[in-house]
Amino acid sequence: MGGGIRTAKEATGFKLLRAAAVLIPAAIFIAYYLSGLHHRATTAAPVTPPPRTVSPGSAVNLGGYTFTAGQPFFTRTVNEPGNTIMANPNQVFVIIPVVAARDNLPVEPAGVTWRLVDDAGIPHPPLRPKDLEIPPAVAQNPARRPVYLLFSLPDTSRHPFLLLTAPAGEAAWRLTRSG
């Protein structure tokens, strides 16, 4: 009536069930604990990029407009309300804020020459004047700060980063690409 003698097979089965009842929860707890440790280890100390460095894939807000670093984008208007940013696979447009009083950079396009330096340190030809645009409202009123310079750059997929620098070395920006 329920308490009879168990066969060897039944005894082994009960032992296995008892072992499983202990081992399965223990395994789940260990896995959960280890995954928690791994999660804390990978998210504990975020790396702060150096000044003027934009990390790949990070969202950046310039002048109220948000773009993703390293992603090709095209801006139809500059420094105007309702500015739209659209993907463009052929060119990368980089908007760089310049505060003339801080960076000691001229406001007029004719007074600025920018060179591209790739990851191997090879300088590229200077950007043409048409590659650098300043909003008319800013050019006519240099007292407005900050000034946003719009650079039209060739595709940068070959270079891990670009270094944009003024000829006299007053200021420099490194932009890293994503992907």
**pTM above 0.75?**
no
Alpha carbon distance 99, 106 (integer Å):
10
CB atoms within 10 A of CB 95: 19
How much is the pLDDT for 35?
59
CB atoms within 10 A of CB 44: 7
Please check the confidence at residue 15 and state whether its pLDDT lies above 60.
yes
Which neighbouring-strand residues pair with 102? Answer: none
Band the pLDDT of 16: cuts 50, 70, 90.
Answer: confident
Condensed to tens digits (0 to 9), the pLDDT of residues 46-57 reads 443 333 334 444
Q: For residue 123, count CB atoms less than 10 angstroms from its CB and return exposed for 0-12, middle for 13-18, buried for 19 or more.
A: exposed
Give percent of the chain with pLDDT exceeding 90: 0
Alpha carbon distance 1, 3 (integer Å):
6
Alpha carbon distance 112, 105 (integer Å):
8
The most confident of the ranges 21-25, 54-58, 149-153 is: 21-25
How much is the pLDDT for 74?
32
What's the rounded mean pLDDT across residues 16-44?
A: 64
Domain ranges for the chain, please list them.
1-46, 53-176
Band the pLDDT of 34: cuts 50, 70, 90.
Answer: low
Please check the confidence at residue 154 and state whether its pLDDT lies above 70.
no
Please check the confidence at residue 102 and state whether its pLDDT lies above 60.
no
